[in-house]
Structure 1
């Protein structure tokens, strides 16, 4: 398994988040094999044993989406074992994933988020300006949480109005930034220079102790402010990414352009936002069409 995870990290370039999830999934599968079948080597498991584990997960009311991720983990693992000639037959070829219901991406209403940025008074200190920049960066560029945390000073080009981010699979992309975001960046940098001149960090965004941001920190910041404008439980950093894409689509942006901005590898991943846009079109149709 150690060799498998090195393969995922260095050859497949999987994200740290995916690696952590796969570690958990394979650990749970290995524990099940030992407890139920007294098997210590996952290479000995056949398709019937794997099916029994999946059935156990279903009976535990694990969400289909989570089960599908665990199945994807096992698919990768057994393909790896086959390539390494550790097994002769891939047992995952006889495994079908349960169908997961497709949920529309949750997003924040455009007017509500703009009112937060325009009306809420962020404190004129390092902490206040950093929190505002976190919100503006996520909503203004649609970048992922890991991409936000990874931004360093050299990635920002205020003259060209761009930011360079490192996405999934170590794929780099350049995203345009608007004037409002540039103003927030300048304000934040001034406060950061005064507050942490002795503790320089290459990372753009840092904590109050000048350490690089970490996921839970960003989650807390986003939840704190988004909770002011919505009662929805959907108030994670990813909701601002969904909002970015949905609002662009509602304004008539090309789907391929949104795909490139989000860093999706295929258009299929981006098309989910068209459903939210269709709901918007229905609303406009019902209000405007004389025969609606």
Structure 2
């Protein structure tokens, strides 16, 4: 089967049967187009003609910037290989490829970078930096409070509707990857900020066409870029020099819970991680914090 045809079938499978998000699909499609194009340039039209040598040469080319392209970091090259391996694995599962040659190409280990986090004091300053005299300020305050209170991804929070929080009683249902729902506590501060936005902010933005909780100035659902910008503005107002993003609040949520005594399995459930291994990166951060405290306090440090 031609590589581009199989790639199209895999895209449909991921979107329809696996419920993969549009953002993830976009990233996969970019890597797939590049991989299929590279195979065609190497004279491989039928994916069955691909070999481990082809994949190894492809990854090596990505790392060194073959063909005048920008060299990719090890993590980006590793992701591209994961996508290529997924395509071959799908072809075998569908019975159109005789063997999974990509399985023989190992994914190179990359140095694990711990995510940036804010201290509890920095989070408090960030949340207080949103002016609540305007509808947009009330919205941004509610958005930031919701992100930190739930630890949800920004796409998950932006997908919330008014009905999702109207009778929340302190707990809301968040729809994550693969359309899987999980319950997360909202907390009194986030609930109060959302209530204030619903009463004094959202009505000024709504045009009756969208049920989304967080609206833009035209009455449509707030975009990821606008949410990102709201956090950047709040960080500047709070005097925070770190590179703060929606994911920073998610990282901070997990770190603060673990530092406060929550067990890793609970944090895994709240974050919507399918594997506890993904969550355990945050235990490295708390271990670093413990070492710092110990080094400063122990007489034989």
Looking at structure 2, the residues matched to 229 and 123 of structure 1 have their Cα atoms a distance apart, in angstroms, of 18
1:167 equivalenced with 2:176 (yes/no)? yes
Paired residue for 1:267?
A: 276
Asked if structure 1 preserves the Cα contact closer than 8 Å seen for 2:205 and 2:215, the reply is no
1:39 equivalenced with 2:44 (yes/no)? yes
Asked if structure 1 preserves the Cα contact closer than 8 Å seen for 2:150 and 2:186, the reply is yes
1:81 equivalenced with 2:86 (yes/no)? no
Paired residue for 1:239?
A: 248
- Give the alignment partner of residue 11 of structure 2, picking from 2, 5, 17: 5
Looking at structure 2, the residues matched to 167 and 116 of structure 1 have their Cα atoms a distance apart, in angstroms, of 25
1:194 equivalenced with 2:234 (yes/no)? no
Asked if structure 1 preserves the Cα contact closer than 8 Å seen for 2:209 and 2:219, the reply is yes
| 1:151-178 deviation digits (Å, cap 9, x = unpaired) | 1122215552111110111110011111
Asked if structure 2 preserves the Cα contact closer than 8 Å seen for 1:110 and 1:247, the reply is yes
- Give the alignment partner of residue 97 of structure 1, picking from 98, 103, 107: 107
Measured at CA, do residues 195 and 62 of structure 1 come closer, stay the same or move farther in structure 2, by a change above 3 Å?
Answer: same
CA-CA distance at 1:182 after TM superposition: 0.8
- Give the alignment partner of residue 23 of structure 1, picking from 20, 23, 29: 29
Asked if structure 2 preserves the Cα contact closer than 8 Å seen for 1:255 and 1:271, the reply is yes
Asked if structure 2 preserves the Cα contact closer than 8 Å seen for 1:112 and 1:229, the reply is no
Looking at structure 2, the residues matched to 157 and 199 of structure 1 have their Cα atoms a distance apart, in angstroms, of 17
Looking at structure 2, the residues matched to 91 and 121 of structure 1 have their Cα atoms a distance apart, in angstroms, of 53
Asked if structure 2 preserves the Cα contact closer than 8 Å seen for 1:245 and 1:258, the reply is yes
Aligned length: 289
Measured at CA, do residues 52 and 257 of structure 1 come closer, stay the same or move farther in structure 2, by a change above 3 Å?
Answer: same
The residue correspondences of 1:154-233 to structure 2 (distance < 5 A) are 154-158=163-167, 160-227=169-236, 228-232=238-242
Paired residue for 1:133?
A: 142
| 1:41-92 deviation digits (Å, cap 9, x = unpaired) | 4443222111111110111231122122111111211111112222212111
Paired residue for 1:51?
A: 56
3-state DSSP of counterpart to 1:81: helix
CA-CA distance at 1:121 after TM superposition: 5.2
Measured at CA, do residues 206 and 193 of structure 1 come closer, stay the same or move farther in structure 2, by a change above 3 Å?
Answer: closer
Looking at structure 2, the residues matched to 176 and 10 of structure 1 have their Cα atoms a distance apart, in angstroms, of 30
Structure 2: give runs of 5+ residues left out of the alignment.
1-6, 66-70
Q: TM-score, normalised by structure 1?
A: 0.93
Structure 1: give runs of 5+ residues left out of the alignment.
none
